[in-house]
Homo-oligomer: A and B are copies of this chain.
Amino acid sequence: MLTVGVGVLGGGVVGGTLIRRLLEDGDAIAQKAGLRLEVRRIAVRSLDKARPFDAPPGILTDNAHEVVDDPSVELVVEVMGGLDPAGDLVLRSLDAGKPVVTANKELVAARGLELVARAEQRGVSLLFEASVGGGIPIIRPLSESLAGEQLKRVMGIVNGTTNYILTKMLEDGADYEEALAEAQVLGFAESDPTADVSGADAAAKAAILASLAFGTWVAGDSVFREGIEGLHPADFRFASDLGYVPKLLAIAEDTPAGVLVRVHPTLVPLDHPLASVRGANNAIFLEGPAVGELLFAGPGAGGDPTATAVLGDVIDAARELLAHSQVAPRIRFAPGRVLAFEEAVTKWYLRLEVEDAPGVLASIAGAFGEHGVSIASVWQDGRGDEATLLIVTHDAREAELGRARKALDELAAVRQVASVIRVQSDAP
């Protein structure tokens, strides 16, 4: 049977799981895939650490270049993460004519344009199914199955940590700190949770999804993002009464004026398929004129699901290598117009602490109206000093809503704008 020599950069959770499966399930993979994958060299940070696999003697190294440059390594898997030195190692592998499989969303979101172009130039594969959605196949469906579709929108729950926290806040009435602490104890959140809770991780994935869905390169750092740190338990209850669930959504839209990509807490209608995605699961929802609405859901992280996605890519790249094919690129990005976040159109939910007096609603409605924002519904909770006003607006541009919000701050009748959360909208 034909054999492909594999080099792995990184022996962490995903790398360790992948290597264990390559070593232990080799026969099953060979039977199903029709080729044999042989781990020839593995780069790890520390040679002394215990690993979940029994590597044959001599194949571990703490020098990643030894993996890339090893002539017996025909295909490189990059699961070390981070921008440096991962980026240069990927380029070096491609330059040596070695296909690369990576799970590194940060790298793809930052340097995908350059890496994809280099892979095309060298005629080898660069595959990154595991960079978004863990074990959920989404990169391949977007770049291949839907290559003929002019997708209009991609919306996703693409960060399991924050979805776990939001699910706890919704179902147990926990506040943000409690839910985060529990997620950390259970291993769903890291000790420094910033990358997850700030929306940075989701923004990198949103950039990758947008680039693939629309064929227009969107860099990760051009994505607007707002995290979940400011969400208050009270808004989970009120939102629920109004028929919504708070989710951290990655939203990418192709509008006539350009591509718009953002990540922020969003109130999702209870009957939307994304509303029922619980715990650390991920889901991606696609809309196109011909294909209609598609949903992909599953475990968004974890060593086993992510290693499964990496393994699918490795088998695919190995097949192409064995076919001695000059690879026709399946992924290509064109430069395009990426819109500023202020152009986004959305609805808003606002929780206002107000004076319970005649004329208050008129002054608030006036402030919205002045800035071209119209109110869809108002609901008062409590009376007197405890009076709270819940407002949901109609669709409006982000810039207009920002100005309306400022005007509210200046109204004497508004004691505090306690919460502002965007609401999922079917615009544009």
Query: Is there an interface contact between A328 and B323, defined as CB atoms closer than 8 Å?
Result: yes
How many copies, total?
2
Query: Is there an interface contact between B290 and A298, defined as CB atoms closer than 8 Å?
Result: no
Chain A contributes a number of interface residues (CB within 8 A of B) equal to 63
- A276 to B274 Cα, complex, angstroms: 13
One digit per residue, 1 when the CB lies within 8 angstroms of any chain B CB and 0 when it does not, for chain A 275-301 equals 010000000000011111111111100
The residue from B140, B293, B324 contacting A299, defined by CB atoms under 8 A apart: B293
Give chain B residues whose Cβ lies under 8 Å from the Cβ of A233: none
Stretch at the interface among A30-38, A76-84, A396-404, A416-424: A30-38
Query: Is there an interface contact between B137 and A146, defined as CB atoms closer than 8 Å?
Result: yes
- A322 to B123 Cα, complex, angstroms: 13
The residue from B28, B276, B320 contacting A150, defined by CB atoms under 8 A apart: B28
Judged by a CB distance under 8 angstroms, whether A273 is at the interface is yes
- A48 to B304 Cα, complex, angstroms: 57
Q: In chain A, residues 104-147, which have Cβ atoms closer than 8 Å to a Cβ of chain B?
A: 129, 135-137, 140-141, 144-147
Residue in A29, A35, A148 with the greatest tally of chain B CB atoms within 10 Å: A148
Query: Is there an interface contact between A135 and B305, defined as CB atoms closer than 8 Å?
Result: no
Query: Is there an interface contact between B21 and A148, defined as CB atoms closer than 8 Å?
Result: yes
Judged by a CB distance under 8 angstroms, whether A170 is at the interface is no
Query: Is there an interface contact between B305 and A291, defined as CB atoms closer than 8 Å?
Result: yes
Q: Chain B's nearest CB lies how many Å from the CB of A99?
A: 13
Closest 7 pairs (CB-CB, A-B): A325-B325, A148-B311, A137-B145, A137-B141, A323-B328, A319-B328, A294-B298
